Amino acid sequence: MSENINLNKTVYNKAQYEKTIDTSFNQLGVQTIQEQLDQQPTVEEFFALYNELFYDIPENGSTNSHEYLIQQSSEYINFNQNSAEVEALQQEISQLRIELLEAQKQIVELQTGTTL
């Protein structure tokens, strides 16, 4: 019950091997740097995509949010242009609250005849 099996072995020299056998990794999904750069969106494509996804992006969050984009962009361009104006307005609001409280105290004092 024995059976003879013939095995054949093909041997290539270096020149034949490189011409016959594909040794690149193109089937593994590895891309060259140029291919990766070509797939990067242009600025126009980025903003078109941003406009499409605008309402899908969360408002707040430490990453992947409108808040994150604002913080990153503000840091990049050194955007503190409105901070002085905002601070002045906050101080004005605080002063107006103090004045409102004093006016309310005067109204109570006038209505009750007592000093607070």
Task: Using CA atoms of 109, 110, 111, 114 in order, give the dihedral in degrees to the nearest 10.
Answer: 40
Decide: 104 and 97 in contact? Cβ < 8 Å.
no
Residue 74 confidence (pLDDT) = 85
> What pTM did the predictor assign?
0.42
Please tell me which residue, 59 or 114, carries the higher pLDDT value: 59
Distance CA 30, CA 36 (A): 10
Tokens of 83: 């901070």
Mean pLDDT of 72-77: 88
**Residue 101: band (very low, low, confident or very high) from pLDDT cuts 50, 70, 90:** very high
Please provide the distance, in angstroms rounded to a whole number, between the alpha carbons at the two ends of the chain.
117
Task: For residue 29, give the amino acid letter.
Answer: G
pLDDT recorded at residue 59: 94
Two tokens at 76?
A: 């990049």
pLDDT: which is higher, 32 or 58: 58
Residue 27, pLDDT > 70, answer: no
